[in-house]
Structure 1
Amino acid sequence: MAEKSSKAMSLLKLAEERASLKKKLEEGKQKQQVDSVPYLPKDCISNILIRLPLESLQRSRFVCKPWYSIIYSPTFVHDNLRRAEKVLIFLSPINRVSRRSDRDSVFRENPNTFSVEAKIFDLKSVHVLHRPLIDPSSKYAIRYMMLADGKTTIGEFNATCLGKIRASCDGLIVIDNNLKKGELLIMNPITHELNLLPLGTIYPSHEESFALVNCTQGYKLVHLFRDESQFIGCEVLRIGERSWRVVDGPSFGLLKWFGYEPVFAIGALHWVPEIDHSEYIVSMTIDDDKFHKIMLPKVSRFNDRIMEVSDRLCFVAHEEMNEISIWMLESLSGEWGKIYTIGVGCIRDLIPLYFPKFRWEIYFMDKDGSVFVYDFEKEQMGKVVVKKGSFPFLGGAYMIHVNSLVSLSIKENSRDTIEY
C-alpha cells in the first residue's frame, strides 16, 4: 500500500514538473515572438496613420490605446486637416424616391444612423418634459460629394438632421436646431460630436447670413441679418462663450441680398451684396470685426463668383465671347490683378464651384446639373462623370467643406430649462 502511494506521489510530481516546463516553454515562445516584432517609433506610426482615409482612422483608433492617443492628438488632427481636400456638403432626402433611377442616390436611414435631434434630447434629457414625434419624411441625411479624377463620389456621414446647414469651417458645421426657434448647434459630422449654441438675435422674418471662421481668438461665428428697420445688423459669437456680442454693421449702405455664401480669405469674410450688377464686395476683417468696401475689377453678374484659393481671394467673371477671367486679390490694401483667362470650352451659364486645394483646377456647374472641370496645366475643359440623380443641390443648396477630426470643447448652455 505504501509502495502504491509512493508511486502516485512520484507520478504527481512528474506531472507538475512537466506542466511547469511546458508553461516556461510557452512563456519563452511568447517572449521570443514579442521580441521578434520590430519596434516602430511613435512618429513612424503617426506617419503611417495620417495617410489612411478618415473611415479607416475611425476604426483604427480602437486598435490600442497608443493609436487612440496618436489619432486624437492636436498635432495629428491638425496634420490631417491640412491634408483634407475640399468636398461639397449637402442635405439629401430620406426614403423619398419618386423614380427608379433615383433609388441609389437617396439615403436610407438605419438603426445605427446618428440623429442630430436624438442627440439634442440626450444632452438635455433631464429637462425635457416630453419628446415630440418626428416625421421621418421631414429628416435629411448629411452627405458630401467628392470631385476628383473626372468623376463624382457620394460619401455618407451616417447622420440625419431636420435643420439647414448654415456654415462650415475646418470640418465643423453649424446647423439650425428645428426643435427650438432661433437656436443653432455646431457639430463634426465625421465624429458626431455635437453641442448647442446660445440664442442670438431673432426676427420674425428676415434675411440673414452665417459664417464660421478660425482666427487667432479661436472659432468665431458671424451673423449678419436685416433688422426691422431694414438695416443690416451684425453679431458675433466666439465658440465656447455663453452669449453673442453685437458689433457695428456696414455703414456704407445696405446689403441687398444674402444669397451667396460668404467667402473667407486674406483674414476677412467677403460678401457680394447684390445677386446681379454688383460693383463692390463687403468685407469684414475677423480680428477687429470692422467692415470695409472693396471695389471689384469689373461689375459682377449673375453667374460670377468670389472664391478662395490658397488663402487668397479670387473673382471668377464671365467675359464676352464665352471667356472666363480669373482675378486675384492678395491683400485687402492691394489691387485686383488678372491672372488667367479661360478661352476654351466655356458656356455662358457655367457657375464656378471651387478650386481644389492640391490641384491647379477649377470646377463649374451648369444650370442643368452638369459638372465641368478646367485643367490649367493642360488648358482643357472637361465634363465630369456625374451619376444620374446624384447632384441633388441645384439652386445653391451646397457648401464647401472639408472632412476632418477637429474637435471642440464647448461649454454647456447655462439655461436650466429647455422647452420644446
Structure 2
Amino acid sequence: MFINPYIFHCCKRCARKRNSRYLPRDIVFQFLLHLPAQLLHNVVRHVCREWSLVICSPNFIQHHLRNSTGGVIIQQKLSPRNGIYVEMRRGCLEICKFDCGVDGLVRSSCNGLVVISDESELPNLYVTNPLTKQWTILPPFSNLTGHYWNCGLAFVESSMEYKVVSMCGDGYIVPKTRIAVLTIGVDEVWRHIDIDLCHLLLPTELSFIWFLLVTGGYVHWPSSKFVLTLNVETEIVRRFPAPQLPKMFGSFLPMGSNLSFIDESGKFSRDVWEMNSVTGEWTMLFSFDSEPLSDRFKGMFSNYTKSITPRFWLVARELLVFSLGFGQILWIVYNVKTSEIQSFELEVGRYHSEAHVNSLVWLE
C-alpha cells in the first residue's frame, strides 16, 4: 500500500482510510499543548477519539494548565452573566464572552475553577469550570458558622485537593469571628480552623480583614499594617507585617505564588514589593514608571491619580491591568518593562473582576 509521505492525519484509523501517515501520540500531545483550552474543548476534542483521549487525560490537563496564560473575568454586578474574559495571546488582547452557566458573581478562581456566589434566591456557593460547565454546589453555611464575608479557592498540591476558605462571623466581633474551611469532595460541612483570632488581631483591626487574596496554596487578608496568612495545607494562620514604608499607599495584588504590593506614594514611580508566603519577608523587586499612562490618559479625567487603579497581574512582574475612571469604563494593560499600552472600553457601570485562566481542570 502506498503511503503519501507528505500528508498526516490524526490517528491510524484516519490514515488507513486516506492512504497516508498519522501523527504519533507524543507529537500530538506537544502540538495540542499550544492550543487554547476553549478551542480544545469546543472543537479539537471532537476531531477523533484518539485526540479526545489525549485532551481528557489528567496528564495532559495538568501540562496544559502549566502551559496556559492567565486572563481576567469582568462581570457587571447587576447582570453577571453579561461578562467578558480578557487575555493576552500573541501580544494582543483577546476578548470573548464569559458565561459560567450559573447566574452569580465569581468570587475566587484557581487553576481554571471558580467559586460563584448566587444570591438570586437563597445564598448559594458553587464551584464550576466556566469552560466545561461542570459544577457542584457547596454545603450551605450553618447557623453556627454565621455569614461569610468573602471566600477564596486554593489548591493543596501535596494532596491534589481544593479548599474553599472564608472569614465568617456574626458582625464585627472578634470572639465570634472565625475562619471556615471546606475541602471539596471530602467535607460535607464547613469546618472552623482552631485558632484564637484574639491573639492575632486587636478589636480595632477586625474591620481591615473583610477581603482576601489567594496565591497558590495561601490565603491572605492584607491591611495597611499587617497581613494575615493561612497555609491551606497545614491550616496554620500567621500574622506578618505589611511593607515598612514611609507612607503606606498602594495596592495588594496576587503575583504568581506570592503576594505583591504596588507602592503608589510617588508621583509616577511605582515600587513593586513581594512577600514570601512562608516567611512573611518583603523584598523590593523593581520600580516602573507610570508617566506614560498619565501622558496618554490624563485628559480623560480631571483627577487622574485617584481614578486609575491597579487590578491584576496579567503576567507576573510584566503585564499589569488597570481600570481607569470611577465607572471603570476604560481598562488598560500596561507592560511595566517596555511601557507598551493596550486598552479596551466598557459601558459605564459597576463591575466585578477576578484573575482567571481557562483550563480543562475538573474535580475528580
TM (normalized to structure 2)? 0.78
Alignment partners' CA distance in 1, 2:172 and 2:336: 47
The question of 1:193 aligning with 2:134 is answered yes
Sort the Cα spacing of 1:83 and 1:194 in 2 relative to 1 into closer, same or farther, 3 A: same
State yes or no: 1:176 paired with 2:117: yes
Q: How much does 1:65 deviate?
A: 1.5
- Out of 327-336 and 298-307, give the one that drifted further: 298-307
Matching of residues 149-160 of structure 1 within 5 Å: 152-160=93-101
Distance in structure 2 (CA, Å) of the matches to 1:208 and 1:64: 46
Higher mean C-alpha deviation, range 300-309 or range 183-192: 300-309
| Residues 333 and 343, structure 2, Cα contact 8 Å, conserved in 1 | no
Distance 1:202 1:155 in 2: 40
2:63 matched residue in structure 1: 79
User: What amino acid is the match of 2:58?
Assistant: P
Q: 2:200 aligns with which of 242, 252, 266?
A: 252
**Contact 1:142 1:156 (C-alpha < 8 Å) held by counterparts:** yes
SS class of match (1:165): strand
The Cα of 1:291 is off from its aligned counterpart by 1.4
User: SS at 2:206's partner residue?
Assistant: coil
Q: CA offsets per residue over residues 27-72 of structure 1, 9 Å max, x none?
A: xxx9996483113211111212222223321212122211111110
Structure 1: 5+ residue stretches without partners:
1-29, 94-136, 410-420
1:306-331 deviations in whole A, cap 9, x for unaligned?
22334232211112333211112235
Q: Which residue among 156, 160, 168 is the counterpart of 1:225? A: 168
Corresponding residue number in structure 2 for 1:114:
none
Could you report, residue by residue, the CA deviation over 1:262-281 in whole angstroms, capped at 9, with x for unpaired residues? 1325x4211124xxxx2111
Q: Aligned letter for 1:36?
A: N
Deviation at 1:406? 0.5
From the CA coordinates, give the structure whose radius of gyration is larger.
Answer: 1
Partners of 1:72 and 1:31 lie apart in 2 by 20
> RMSD over aligned Cα, in angstroms?
3.2
User: Which residue identity lines up with residue 214 of structure 2 in the other structure?
Assistant: V
CA distance in 2, matches of 1:257, 1:334: 18
**Partners of 1:367 and 1:329 in 2: CA distance:** 29
Corresponding residue number in structure 1 for 2:30: 47
TM-aligned CA distance change 1:42 to 1:377, over 3 Å: same
Correspondence for 1:401 among 350, 356, 362: 356
CA contact (8 A) 2:69 2:88 kept: no
Report the Cα distance in structure 2 between the residues aligned to 1:361 and 1:293, rounded to whole angstroms.
29
1:88 and 2:72 aligned:
yes
Query: Aligned pair 1:269/2:219, yes or no?
Result: yes
The answer to whether residue 124 in structure 2 is matched with residue 140 in structure 1 is no
Q: 1:296 & 1:32 partners in 2: Cα distance?
A: 61
Q: Structure 1 residues 398 and 203, CA, compared in 2 at 3 Å: closer, same or farther?
A: farther
**In the alignment, what sits opposite 1:315?**
261
Q: Which of 53-62 and 359-368 deviates more?
A: 359-368
C-alpha distance in 1 between matches for 2:80 and 2:257: 35
CA separation of 1:203/1:337 partners in 2, compared to 1, >3 Å: closer, same or farther?
Answer: same
Is the counterpart of residue 384 in structure 1 residue 342 in structure 2? yes
Distance 1:235 1:140, change over 3 A: same
CA contact (8 A) 1:141 1:159 kept: no
Tell me the TM-score normalised to structure 1 length. Answer: 0.68
> What percentage of aligned pairs have identical amino acids?
24
Per the alignment, in what secondary structure is the counterpart of residue 52 of structure 1? coil
**Residue 269 and residue 70 in structure 1: after superposition, are their counterparts in 2 closer, same or farther (change >3 A)?**
same
Give 3-state SS (helix, strand or coil) of 2:164's partner: strand
**Equivalent residue, structure 2, for 1:236:** 181
Alpha carbons 1:212, 1:222 under 8 Å: kept: yes
Query: What CA distance in whole angstroms lies between the structure 1 residues aligned with 2:309 and 2:317?
Result: 19
Larger mean CA deviation between 50-59 and 182-191 belongs to 50-59
Structure 2 match to 1:211: 152
Equivalences, count: 327
Counterpart secondary structure, 2:315: coil
- CA–CA separation in structure 2 for the residues paired with 1:90 and 1:376: 22
Contact 1:279-1:299 at 8 Å conserved across structures? no
Shift in CA distance, 194/321, structure 1 to aligned 2, threshold 3 Å:
closer
Q: Give the gaps of 5 or more residues in structure 2.
A: 1-12, 295-304
The 1:238–1:331 alpha-carbon spacing in structure 2 relative to 1, beyond 3 Å, is: closer
Code of the aligned partner of 1:355: W
Q: Is the 8 A contact 2:61 2:359 kept in 1?
A: yes
Q: Which structure dedicates a bigger proportion of its chain to strand?
A: 2
> Structure 1 pair 35/157, CA: closer, same or farther in 2 (3 Å)?
same
Distance (whole Å) between structure 2 residues aligned to residue 182 and residue 203 of structure 1 = 16
Q: Which amino acid aligns with 1:176?
A: S
Residue 371 (structure 1) shift = 3.4
Evaluate the alpha carbon distance shift between residue 295 and residue 72 of structure 1 in structure 2; reply closer, same or farther with a 3 A threshold. Answer: same
1:348-359 matches, within 5 Å, as 348-349=305-306, 350-357=308-315
